Amino acid sequence: MDLIHVNTVVRPRDEAALPGWAEGDAFVGGGTWLFSDPQPQVRRLVDLSAVSWTPIVETASEVVIAANCTYRQLEAHNWSSLPAGRIFATAIRSLSSSFKTYGLATVGGNIGLAFAKGMMTPVFITLDATYELATAGTGNTRLVSAAAFQTGVCKTILRPGEYVRSIRVPRAAFTRRLVLRRAAHSATSHVTAMVIGATDPGTGATTLTLSGALAYPVRFTVNASASPSAQVDTICAAHPLIADSHGSASYRQLLLRELAAEALAALATPDHAA
């Protein structure tokens, strides 16, 4: 796609050199979506892909993933001491564009796009992640929970000039047992509905994160004495379901119920794989 209205491209290695926000600016991660669609409103590209953040840093308390970490880098990280990290490979392989965009697409781009079919935000909500947001040209930063970030299809709480700098996941969350169940029209279609189940080994609590079918992912703690389908229905009544050529709202709700049941059954089975 030729972006014929763009007249400036800024591609700093140093984050401090990012320019202050101006009307017509767009941040670039890997460009896999940005360069695939007309962008008549964009005049300047502010490319984050060359900023010299370390893709993944492990500390004693958390794992910090830079926004410009690519799918390839995320999957290649050694997750052996953090078993739930295997979920990233499963999520990446569930993207319809995976094989075409794998080496370029970034975690921050997927989050920033905020598609209902996005794979990263439901994973990060399940892992209790926090996003560090920064405003270009000001040095201002703030932390928000992954659960509060996406407010609709392609809608987020990002303010003008604000970008995702990093994703912070508490180390303890990687001890959870996770399962991802998805429904799609074909192996290369994007998800129509998706459920991530998680059981915490400390508390024994199980959560389900519903996505793909809703305008934004929603997580809830499962009440073991109530019907899972009824709990899914309650969430669907409280949050907007989407409908498009991949499925009506009621079809998607049905898929969520089925996937929730599958996820709970898998979590109840020892040694299941994510």
Please report, as ranges, the residues that interact with ligand FAD according to CB under 6 A.
26-34, 36, 48, 67, 95-97, 100-101, 104-106, 108-110, 112-113, 115, 117-119, 158, 163-164, 190
- The Cα-based distances of 91 to 73, 212, 222, 237 in angstroms read 14, 12, 22, 26
* Closer residue to ligand FAD in complex, CB, 190/219: 190
- The Cα-based distances of 48 to 158, 164, 219 in angstroms read 16, 10, 30
Supply the minimum distance, in Å, between the C-beta of residue 259 and ligand FAD: 16
In whole angstroms, give the CA distance from residue 127 to residue 150. 15
* Closer residue to ligand FAD in complex, CB, 122/197: 122
Supply the minimum distance, in Å, between the C-beta of residue 253 and ligand FAD: 20
Report the 10 Å Cβ neighbour count for 26: 17
In whole angstroms, give the CA distance from residue 94 to residue 91. 5
* Closer residue to ligand FAD in complex, CB, 29/228: 29
Supply the minimum distance, in Å, between the C-beta of residue 225 and ligand FAD: 35
Nearest residue to ligand FAD, scored by beta-carbon proximity: 109
* Closer residue to ligand FAD in complex, CB, 31/55: 31
Both tokens of 232, joined, read: 């899914």
Supply the minimum distance, in Å, between the C-beta of residue 229 and ligand FAD: 26
* Closer residue to ligand FAD in complex, CB, 207/211: 211
Supply the minimum distance, in Å, between the C-beta of residue 187 and ligand FAD: 12
